[in-house]
Amino acid sequence: MAVNKSKFHGAFVVNRCVDLHAIDATPLICAQVGGSRSTAGWVVGITALGTGCMQPFLGYPLKHYRLKTLMLMLCGFNFIGWVLYALGDLSGSLATILVARVITGLAGGPTWLSTYVARSTSTELRSHYMQYVSLSVGFGYGIGPFIGGALYAICSSLDLDGKVFNKYTSPGWLWAGFAIVVAALLQTFTAVWKSVAGTTSRRWRGLKI
């Protein structure tokens, strides 16, 4: 059963418009909570560290739970992480932002996109849909900093400087909203199969999409 490519692309491209705004905003938000520019690198890199630490533990849940269910759960963790990030200025604690970035790292990364393609397409179509994954990742990483910069400029021009919502925390609230949108897209467009189309290898049989 082939994946409808327009629905597939639409469901995942939003998911990658999330993270690189932190590279520009990190030194500023770190300064807001008493951190230094030397700690800004930790705030940026710790998300990737969280993603990397998650990889060795993916085997069990991928074998015992439907991938769609796991992705919806991860959207929930992403939502929690970004809300916590957005509340970092209110808390006045650098630790709050670091924990938030770890959570988004554990719940993020393009691994799930690739796994979905591998399980839901035939070997003949797999490379075709992997191109959509690459396009989604590149598009998201490209537009993410632009959106973050635009939010910074808009909030500055409107003098939005509250502790909960300001030019530093607005991206966190937006990405939290994106997590809800992504969950809705996944729930609507992500198909569930009992078996993988076009695969004959025993190692694929019984895997839950």
Mean pLDDT of the chain: 76
In the CATH scheme, what is the homologous superfamily, with its name and number, of domain 13-204? MFS general substrate transporter like domains (1.20.1250.20)
- Cα–Cα nearest to 207, from 199, 136, 196, 197: 196
At residue 208, the pLDDT reads 54
Q: How far apart are CA 188 and CA 155, in angstroms?
A: 33
At 19, phi and psi to the nearest 5? Answer: -115, -40
Residue 29 has pLDDT above 70, yes or no: yes
Got the DSSP string for 141-179? HHHHHHHHHHHHHHHHHTT-B-SSSBTTTHHHHHHHHHH
Greater pLDDT, 85 or 191: 85
Q: What is the mean pLDDT of residues 2-20?
A: 49
**Do 2 and 121 form a contact (C-beta atoms < 8 A)?**
yes
At residue 41, the pLDDT reads 76
> Mind listing the pLDDT tens digit for each residue in 74-121?
889 989 999 998 998 888 888 898 898 889 888 876 577 778 888 778
Residue 35 has pLDDT above 90, yes or no: no
Residue 6 has pLDDT above 50, yes or no: no
Angle at 185 between CA 175 and CA 23, to 5 degrees: 25
Q: How far apart are CA 67 and CA 179, in angstroms?
A: 17
Provide the whole-model pTM. Answer: 0.79
Token digits of residue 205: 């049989």
CA distances from 31 to 25, 93, 97, 180 (A): 10, 11, 12, 30
Q: Quick one: pLDDT band at residue 16, thresholds 50, 70, 90?
A: low
Q: Quick one: pLDDT band at residue 196, thresholds 50, 70, 90?
A: very low
At residue 158, the pLDDT reads 93
What is the number of alpha carbons within 13 Å of residue 78 lying toward its C-beta? 25
Residues 6+ apart with CB under 8 A from 144: 16, 17, 18, 19, 20, 21
- Cα–Cα nearest to 113, from 68, 149, 73, 146: 68
H/E stretch holding 23 reads helix 21-32
Where would I find the H helices in 55-93? 59-64, 67-86, 88-91
At residue 118, the pLDDT reads 82
At 93, phi and psi to the nearest 5? Answer: -120, 130
